[in-house]
Amino acid sequence: MAKIGCDISDPKRAPEGKKRILWADNDMPVLQLVRQRFGKTKPLRGMRMSCCLHVTAETANLVRTLKAGGATVALCASNPLSTQDDVAASLVKDFGISVYARRGESVKVFYQHLNATIDQRPNVTMDDGADLVNQLHTKRKAHAGAIIASMEETTTGVIRLRAMESSGALMFPVIAVNDAATKHLFDNRYGTGQSTLDGIVRATDILLAGAKVVVAGYGWCGRGVSERARGMGAHVTVTEVDPLRALQAAMDGFNVAPMAEAVRYGDLFVTLTGDKHVIRREHFAKMKDGAIVCNSGHFDVELDIPALAKLAKKVNRGVRNHVDEYVLSGGRRIFLLAEGRLVNLSAAEGHPASVMDMSFATQALAGEYARKAGSKLETRVHDVPSEVEDWVAKLKLQSMGIKIDKLTPEQKHYLASSGEGT
């Protein structure tokens, strides 16, 4: 039996964490089915899996599934503010998982934890932001040769990995779980849409009805936030750099404007782009008194926080939980949420378990696929196999009590032939 390692905040919180994990599991029926099969067939037997993911109740059920499949699992946090300390404690005590995560950990400790998971000499990794992969390509290259494949969970990570592939730097195959339809069409859109607004409301108690909300980015995450904010009565402006996405936002009925214009009237700003310094010094300088700024992209660099700090005459930390007040010249105030980190995980609980059910079932099955494919996988970024996508979608529909039609033999023949016409 593998030795369990850990660096967690409070082992005594394990009972509380176990309740949270099992409650989330109630809403993850597809992952339950995967775990049941994994428990019988052990497709991951002998695998050493290092995971850098948000340490939440939903993630706990994923790593339980990996362990049921026979894998030895080590988990660290992909964000210093997203860890649920009670969940971390329960994973160690109740489920025998090595966990290295503390809510609010420093950047130094974050990298110590990242390296602790690599110390178990993984042959498969799971990432949310590509930090593990990046470490294996820079500081820990000696361990990269043992990696069969990696799975990537988020848009930001896939962007980094495709850049590595293009430059020829990628050292092992990666499966872009984020790009699976069962992930980005649902998790990114419905999960991020709901959980981001949940985090904002918990932190600020803002009334969204009538508020002028500015959403930076109209990818699937930005669409989700825009749709949910409009549904709660907000006046939504979308900012974009991509003409096609800007056109989609306009045809979906949203106001579209440059950030330089939107900063003059926005009450609430949310970034979801995966890029750097989307809101910069010149934008902060034009915001009105009381503007609220937050980020729901993976890294905190979407907001130029150092520039905001230089503009401020005074910073009042913690005026509310997860709210810092930056006082600019003339007494104008800008409120920054969750230190610019993922507001949905820092100020709330992240995505609902029901939507993570599909993402994490896909993640677990991608791990099984990587094991079976082995050395046949080319060193590049791969899509999730279509059969995995179809299986997860069908089971999710079944769990929701939804039935759909099937093609008749005549329809199958028609779609497969070219003989019939006008």
For 138-155, the pLDDT digits (tens) are 999 999 999 999 999 888
* Dist. CA 60–CA 64, nearest whole Å: 6
DSSP state letter for 349: -
So what's the pLDDT on residue 422? 60
What stretches in the chain show pLDDT beneath 70?
A: 1-2, 421-422
DSSP state letter for 316: E
pLDDT, tens digit (0-9, with 9 covering 90-100), for 116-127: 999 999 999 999
Distances (CA, A) of 349 to 101, 342, 353: 16, 11, 10
So what's the pLDDT on residue 403? 95
Hey, is 218 helix, strand or coil? coil
- 386-399 and 29-41 helices cross at what angle (nearest 10)? 120
Nearest to 296 by CA among 197, 203, 363: 197
So what's the pLDDT on residue 1? 46
DSSP string computed for 233-267: T-EEEEE-S-HHHHHHHHHTT-EE--HHHHTTT-S
CB crowding 189-207: b at 16 or more within 10 Å, else e: bbbbbbbbbbbbebbbebe
